[in-house]
A and B are shown apart, each in its own frame.
Chain A
Amino acid sequence: KNEVEQSPQNLTAQEGEFITINCSYSVGISALHWLQQHPGGGIVSLFMLSSGKKKHGRLIATINIQEKHSSLHITASHPRDSAVYICAVNFGNEKLTFGTGTRLTIIP
């Protein structure tokens, strides 16, 4: 069965802390997406990965194909990073299977 699991479900941290959100999936994939959804807002694609590591500003995404695991890191976290972060996976077909999301709250 094609499944995507995220952890933690909720994360609260102080401004400036290093944040890690994890995503595990059940079988081989063609691509993994990290998405950001602000309260009441739309969804923004942060990264699309099929291997290795990508960095954009304070955000870093890594993927380990052998371990079927990806992490999203935020360095020097800021209150504006507060959002729901969603991992989504293409299991070799056109359907995206979504994780349940991680609700991140950064306290000033």
Chain B
Amino acid sequence: GAGVSQSPSNKVTEKGKDVELRCDPISGHTALYWYRQSLGQGLEFLIYFQGNSAPDKSGLPSDRFSAERTGGSVSTLTIQRTQQEDSAVYLCASSLGGPGTGELFFGEGSRLTVL
């Protein structure tokens, strides 16, 4: 596609439910990143994929968070048993090369609200 596409753009869920957030990067971009921006907070790195592999998952806040990427393209971030502190905007970005080698292109984000 022309840009990084994320869905849903908004998600309201009840505490304890599972949610899936999707990111479709720019075609051909091998690197894909997930970040989180909580209300009034700065941006927080979650996870990075190079192809289908995630070399570093240490940014994920808890074991309720997981992410996968298939076919070197679409990625899904899954949050199990959501908590109110998970409420945030989840941003995805992609780049042609690896970290520090190329410009980042961001999606519009998925705003998650946990009631």
Contacts and interface: CB of A to CB of B under 8 A. Distances in A.
Contacts of B55: 94
Interface stretch (B19-27, B80-88, B104-112): B104-112
Contact of B108 (A42, A45, A99): A42
Interface of A: 29-31, 33, 35, 41-45, 48, 50, 86, 88, 90, 92-101
B95 to A, nearest CB: 9
Contacts of B106: 35, 42-45
A59 to B, nearest CB: 14
Contacts of A94: 31, 33, 48, 50, 55-56, 98-99
B43 interface: yes
B43 to A, nearest CB: 4
A95 B56 contact: yes
Interface residues of B, number: 26
B45 interface: yes
B31 to A, nearest CB: 8
Given A43-B91, A88-B43, A101-B42, A96 B99 contact: yes
Interface of B: 31, 33, 35, 42-45, 48, 50, 55-56, 59, 91, 93, 98-109
A42 B108 CA distance: 5
B47 to A, nearest CB: 9
A22 B24 CA distance: 33
Given A48-B104, A90-B99, A94-B55, 15 more contacts: A31-B99, A31-B100, A33-B104, A41-B108, A42-B108, A44-B106, A45-B103, A45-B105, A50-B100, A86-B42, A86-B43, A93-B56, A95-B59, A95-B99, A101-B42
29 contacts: A29-B100, A33-B104, A35-B104, A35-B106, A42-B91, A42-B106, A43-B93, A45-B103, A45-B105, A48-B102, A48-B104, A50-B100, A86-B43, A90-B99, A92-B100, A94-B33, A94-B50, A94-B55, A94-B56, A94-B99, A95-B56, A96-B33, A96-B43, A96-B104, A97-B45, A98-B44, A98-B45, A99-B42, A100-B42
